[in-house]
Chain A
Amino acid sequence: MRTRKKIDKKFSTSLRLGGLFFALLVLAVLAAIYFGSEKLAFFELSGSDKAILFDIRLPRILLGASVGAALALAGASLQSLLRNPLAEPYLLGVSNGAALGTMLAFVFFAQFEFARPVMAFTGASLATFVVYQMAKSPAGMNVERLVLSGVIVTTFLSSIIVLFTSLLDATKLRSFTFWLLGDLSQATWNGFYLSFGAVLVGILVLLKNARALNLMMIGERDAFDFGVEVNKTRLAVFATSSLLVGTAVAASGSVGYVGLIIPHIVRLAIGSDNRLVIPFSALAGAIFVVSADTVARVAIAPRELPVGAITALIGAPMFIYLLRRS
């Protein structure tokens, strides 16, 4: 039957691709475990090797995977919601909102570890709200307006962050500058658990809204006519992306461009159906950040680069390409 075949084909292609992506993720994680300023022999770990693996490298790798998934999910869902391929948490100032929140928590509530993700989430939500309100106009939302609003919010928040950093002493300043650029070297197991929890919640909420998002990509008026509760979906996506970005930034700073590059590549591979784009973006984002962080660790070993520098190096040219095309 024609109809059965069509549905089966979509499923089998996505299953095969899913398997491939999963294998790549495992490969990326194994490579990340092996490479580093200390090469680890998998099968005969000494005591210090074990310490390096379980206390330092593994939480860092897993956090990288989780942060990558979170940022790619946020990017993919924001792009569908705002109907704009350039929507990205870092470019829209959402990451900076989260960074400022983290910073405030760091300065004022240093004794509470959980103040940081909570304040980061608050900052991300506020930045999202402000950018959305600025970019919205009676005539709809065009690419330029959204990107400009993002730039304004980003620079404004950056200046406040700079204000606070100038109060820090020299040693803290270096680690903080690294963190701002996106840095996984401070990874802890707790940071990973929190970020991973947010990713699980995020995938669930976004998958629940994926088909509604498909309709909203065509147009909000249209989606409403065909049964989508547009306001509810919008709120769900904004809240989820703020949660994802907030927890990611609290743990690893503003790793930029992941939310731009990954969903774009995923759409090229499997089309624009959000029910596939969302899970595949999570997988691909994890692969990307784990690999980029491996490069960041070994490129100039024994010194390190912040992972955000690597992602930006790939992402910025891609941004220009996408801007020219849209």
Chain B
Amino acid sequence: MLEIQNITIGYGVCEVVRDVSFSLKDGDILAIVGANGAGKTTLLKSLNATLPLMNGGILLEGKPLENYSRREIARKITVIAQENETKFPISVLDFVLAGRFAHGGNFGWESERDMQIALDSLEICDLQNYESRVMNQLSGGERQRVILARALATEAQILLLDEPTTNLDLSHQALMFRLVKERCKGCGSAAIVITHDLNLASEFADEVLLLKRGQMIAKGNPAEIFTEENLQEIFGIRVLLDENPISKNVRITTIY
């Protein structure tokens, strides 16, 4: 559903992401892994046309991304950004309803359906009875879940998540990934997730993309990608790799 062809992105003359190509299929969860400053966020921002491409192209459902209007893109692609602007004292329900903007008209008021979807999204994110709480009075983790609820409320088929678990406690990290996974497996959505938690990537991602100084150096399933050599190259650390005895996925332990 998303085809990325040789894209180069930068600020001014400085190229931050160079010549990256990959494709995202229905139901896929793709994890982008790389060191700080490797260009992960820049890459993600270009995928919903927030940042212009210097080179290459992106096809959304076979059509070039630049042929879509802002509303059309927002209906198909949603993001959970890294630095979120949530300091405005707005109620949780109104915040989540903002996710329905692209579905309404110009003089739009929310329909009954919009309201229902917003309430459902809050409920699956473990936020029942939060509707009238105010955003700037929530904890970081609660806010993060509200942001997920808003993203889910868009009903977009592609989810772009930039370090979505940063502020979450263990149970809500798992909840976040379970919800994303359910969306992808159940509704044929697809997700691209930037994460520093390699074990979560190993558990939940179908594919992992390694990014180093703006270039893609490997892509494949977690077991292929999470090797001692690759992790040494990306992070310059030594790791112990074994198998998670329950899920049978590769498990990564840092050796300090």
Residue positions of A touching B, CB distance < 8 A: 1-4, 6-7, 83, 207-212, 214-215, 217-222, 224-229, 272-273, 275
Bound CA–CA A277/B97 (angstroms): 18
**Cβ-defined contact, A226 with B154, below 8 A:** yes
Separation in Å of the A269 CB from the closest CB of chain B? 15
**Cβ-defined contact, B101 with A207, below 8 A:** no
Which one, A209, A211, A225, A272, contacts B104 given CB within 8 A?
Answer: A211
Bound CA–CA A324/B237 (angstroms): 50
Residues of B71-86 contacting chain A, CB below 8 A: 71, 73-75, 78-79, 81, 84-86
Residues of B125-141 contacting chain A, CB below 8 A: none
Which chain B positions have C-beta within 8 A of A211?
A: 101, 104, 106-108
Which chain B positions have C-beta within 8 A of A275?
A: 109
**Cβ-defined contact, A215 with B78, below 8 A:** no
The listed residue with most B CB atoms (<10 A of its CB), out of A83, A211, A215, A228, is A211
A–B pairs, 22, beta carbons within 8 Å: A4-B112, A6-B93, A208-B106, A208-B107, A211-B106, A214-B98, A217-B88, A218-B98, A222-B98, A225-B48, A225-B50, A225-B79, A226-B78, A226-B98, A226-B150, A226-B154, A227-B70, A227-B71, A228-B101, A229-B70, A272-B89, A275-B109
Bound CA–CA A208/B70 (angstroms): 16
Which chain B positions have C-beta within 8 A of A215?
A: 98, 101
Bound CA–CA A212/B75 (angstroms): 15
Q: Which residue of B lies closest to A2 (CB)?
A: B119
Residues of B84-126 contacting chain A, CB below 8 A: 84-86, 88-90, 93-95, 98-99, 101-102, 104, 106-110, 112, 115-116, 119
Separation in Å of the A235 CB from the closest CB of chain B? 14
Separation in Å of the B178 CB from the closest CB of chain A? 24
**Cβ-defined contact, B74 with A226, below 8 A:** yes
Q: Is the interface of A mostly helix, strand, loop or mixed?
A: helix
Q: Which residue of B lies closest to A212 (CB)?
A: B101
Do A225 and B81 form a contact, CB below 8 Å, given A3-B119, A218-B90? yes
Bound CA–CA A221/B81 (angstroms): 9
- By Cβ-Cβ distance, the 5 closest A-B pairs, closest first, are A219-B85, A227-B74, A227-B102, A3-B115, A227-B71
**Cβ-defined contact, A3 with B112, below 8 A:** yes
Do A218 and B119 form a contact, CB below 8 Å, given A208-B106, A211-B101, A227-B74? no
**Cβ-defined contact, A225 with B85, below 8 A:** no
Residue positions of B touching A, CB distance < 8 A: 48, 50, 70-71, 73-75, 78-79, 81, 84-86, 88-90, 93-95, 98-99, 101-102, 104, 106-110, 112, 115-116, 119, 150, 154
Bound CA–CA A2/B115 (angstroms): 9
Separation in Å of the A231 CB from the closest CB of chain B? 10
Which chain B positions have C-beta within 8 A of A226?
A: 74, 78, 98-99, 101-102, 150, 154
Which chain B positions have C-beta within 8 A of A224?
A: 50, 70
Which chain A positions have C-beta within 8 A of B154?
A: 226
Which chain A positions have C-beta within 8 A of B71?
A: 227
**Cβ-defined contact, B98 with A3, below 8 A:** no
Bound CA–CA A272/B154 (angstroms): 22
Bound CA–CA A228/B115 (angstroms): 20
Separation in Å of the A50 CB from the closest CB of chain B? 42
Bound CA–CA A224/B112 (angstroms): 24
Which chain A positions have C-beta within 8 A of B102?
A: 226-227
Bound CA–CA A91/B115 (angstroms): 39
Bound CA–CA A225/B46 (angstroms): 11
Bound CA–CA A224/B98 (angstroms): 11
**Cβ-defined contact, A218 with B110, below 8 A:** no
The listed residue with most B CB atoms (<10 A of its CB), out of A217, A219, A226, A272, is A226
Q: Which residue of B lies closest to A209 (CB)?
A: B106
**Cβ-defined contact, B101 with A222, below 8 A:** no
Separation in Å of the A141 CB from the closest CB of chain B? 12
Do A273 and B112 form a contact, CB below 8 Å, given A208-B107, A224-B50, A225-B81? no
**Cβ-defined contact, A222 with B81, below 8 A:** yes
Bound CA–CA A215/B98 (angstroms): 6
**Cβ-defined contact, A273 with B48, below 8 A:** no
Q: Which residue of B lies closest to A275 (CB)?
A: B109
Which chain B positions have C-beta within 8 A of A207?
A: 107
Q: Which residue of A lies closest to B71 (CB)?
A: A227
Which chain B positions have C-beta within 8 A of A4?
A: 112
Which chain A positions have C-beta within 8 A of B108?
A: 211
**Cβ-defined contact, A225 with B115, below 8 A:** no
**Cβ-defined contact, B90 with A227, below 8 A:** no
Bound CA–CA A311/B196 (angstroms): 56
Which one, B48, B90, B93, contacts A272 given CB within 8 A?
Answer: B90
Q: Which residue of B lies closest to A11 (CB)?
A: B109
Bound CA–CA A319/B147 (angstroms): 33
Do A3 and B78 form a contact, CB below 8 Å, given A211-B108, A212-B101, A272-B90? no
Bound CA–CA A296/B129 (angstroms): 50
**Cβ-defined contact, B88 with A218, below 8 A:** yes
Which chain B positions have C-beta within 8 A of A1?
A: 112
Separation in Å of the A322 CB from the closest CB of chain B? 14
**Cβ-defined contact, B73 with A227, below 8 A:** yes
**Cβ-defined contact, A7 with B85, below 8 A:** no
Separation in Å of the B13 CB from the closest CB of chain A? 17
Bound CA–CA A207/B118 (angstroms): 23
Separation in Å of the A315 CB from the closest CB of chain B? 23
**Cβ-defined contact, B115 with A6, below 8 A:** yes
